[in-house]
Each structure stands twice: as structure tokens, then as C-alpha cells.
Amino acid sequence: MRSDEMLNELEANFGLKDNHIKILKELQLSDELTADKLAKNTGVPLGRIYDFLNDLVESKLVLKSMTFPSVYSIDNLEQRVMEFMRYQTNVLIKKEQTLMGLFSDDKDIEQTTILNDRERLVFETIKLMAESKEINIIEQTETIPSIFYPMEEQDFIKMRNYFAKKTGDKGAVFKGGADRLRVMLHRADNEAYVSGKHIKFVMDEHSVELYLNLISKLGTDKKKSILKTVLSQLSSHPNVKVYVVKENLPISAMVFSNKILLLRFAHMNAPLCILAKSKRMAEFYNSFFEELAARSKPAQKYLNAAIGLHV
């Protein structure tokens, strides 16, 4: 991955601010710089730059010398990013342990697993879907339910690749085309829908608007055709429900048969997930799901409105 792409990814999906990125870009141009020199070159006030430098040093993206005055460096950006990802993993594990302690006791937690490999995540998801009769899913912001894609595989591939081409690295849901793993997940989703499993989604209004905006660029006739296909799929599979809420949803959560929880903190291109076999944790997120669903609207209202139907 090129350096600018790495920095864009860090800013878009890992919480870095504009001033963090300015500092990282400046350090890429020089071997070592003092805080004074960084403040002058980036325009970040000297009184504030130490806060941003401390963030970057703590998260392992920047190295700080033991000399006086201290000098800051990156050395190898790819290596720094790898260290940063390890740091993020450790932070999330600690948060997960705290969360588990709040909602569960030792007897309740049969197994907790960290999944940071994309292929393993996909296979675990497919396995859990096959084993479960009921699945409640909270879709992270800029993520859409799979039933919003055509169930026909070739149409799914075309639509997924179209989204990837149009958005590039922007937008978690649309990032990346229809590779082997996504096609496998698509097949598993279809099998779950057709077999009658009870699957409910909650998504946010912002993601619906992104989705509708992208398919609108295909033209009015194509847009109507796609939306009618999705509406037909929802009508043909009443076991699948999609609800839309106005608030932002910062985390992805899947609850399988009210006993297993899968939390996903990043998009599948760079996943970091917690798989918890804990009934209490699953019940907690199911309660959260039901609270969201209670103040939601059916997705059909948005889709019908987009093609000029009012029901």
C-alpha cells in the first residue's frame, strides 16, 4: 500500500485527526524533527502540537528520542503502521475484557476469541449463520444489509464492483469489490434467507442515503430496477426484516440465537473482531437491538419513496 493510502486509511477508519496526519506527512519528508520545527512546518501551534505528538508516540506511529530536545521520527512507515495495529489490538482487547466483566461472570463466558484475520472472520460468520435459527444484526454506519444487493450472484458481483469503483477507499460498506470471500458470504446469506432463518437488521439512515445516491448514478431506469428487485426479495422472504434508524451506529454487532455475539470494529478489509460465546453479552446486545428497532422505520418505506411509491 502506498504511503498516502496508508495515511488516508488511518484518518478515515482509525480516528486520527487532521493534525496527526499533517505531522506524519511532515515526518515522512525528514529523518528527524523537533517539536518546534514540526510546529513551524505544519502550522500546528506549538502549545498544542505536543498533545498530537504524544498521541502518535503512545500509539506507536512515531518514535521519540531520549535526547534533549526530543526529536521525532517515523523511520519506516509500514513498520510504524504494523506497530500501530498491534497497539490498537491490545487496546481493544483490554476494552473487551472490561466490557465482559461488566455484563458477564466467569461461568457465563465459555469462550472469547479475537479475530483479526479476514478469512477466519468470514468462515466463522458462515459457520455461525449455518448453526443459528435467529440472527439479529446491527449494521455499522456506512454498511448495508446483504439483502440490499441482488441475490442473483452475477448481479451481486456487478453491483459490488460498481460500488468499489465509484467510492474507492471511501465508505466502509462500499470499499473493495466482489472478491472470493465476499462471494462466499453472499452465498451463505442467500442460503440463510431461503431456508427461512429469522434474520433482522438495523441500519442507519445515513447508510441508506449513501446507497440510494450511488445507485441513482446508474440512471432512473436502472435505479428503479434495482430497488424493485430488493423490494421483491424482502417480500419473498418475510423472515428477513430491515429497520432504519436516524442515529449513527458506530459498531457492527451480530447476535446468533441469543447466545453468541460477534462484534466487528473495522471493515472486513482490516477486521478486528470479538467473538464471545456469552449468553448475557448476547442478551445485552439483543436488548440494544430491540431498542433501536422500536424507534425505527421499515426499510421498505425508504426504498418505495426512492422510486416514487408511497405506501
| Domain assignments of the chain as residue spans, ordered by start | 3-82, 104-306
State whether residue 275 is helix, strand or coil.
Answer: strand
Mean pLDDT computed over every residue of the chain: 85
Q: Which range, 149-158, 164-173, 263-272, is most confident?
A: 149-158
* pLDDT tens-place string over residues 180-216: 888 889 999 999 999 999 999 999 999 999 999 999 9
CATH 1.10.10.10, domain 3-82, yes or no: yes
* Cα distance between residue 262 and residue 253, in whole Å: 6
Name the residue with higher pLDDT: 267 or 82: 82
Q: Is domain 104-306 annotated with CATH 3.30.870.10?
A: yes
Candidates 7, 13, 4; CA nearest to 175 is 13
Which of 2, 117, 20 has the alpha carbon at shortest distance from 61?
20
Say if residue 269's pLDDT is above 70: no
Reading the block at residue 235, the C-alpha cell is: 417480500
Type and span of the H or E element at 282 = helix 279-294
Give phi and psi for 104, each to the nearest 5.
-140, 155
pLDDT over 60 (residue 159): yes
Q: What one-character DSSP code corresponds to residue 139?
A: P
For strands 71-73 and 111-115, give the pairing. Answer: unpaired
For the segment 54-66, the average pLDDT, to the nearest whole number, is: 91
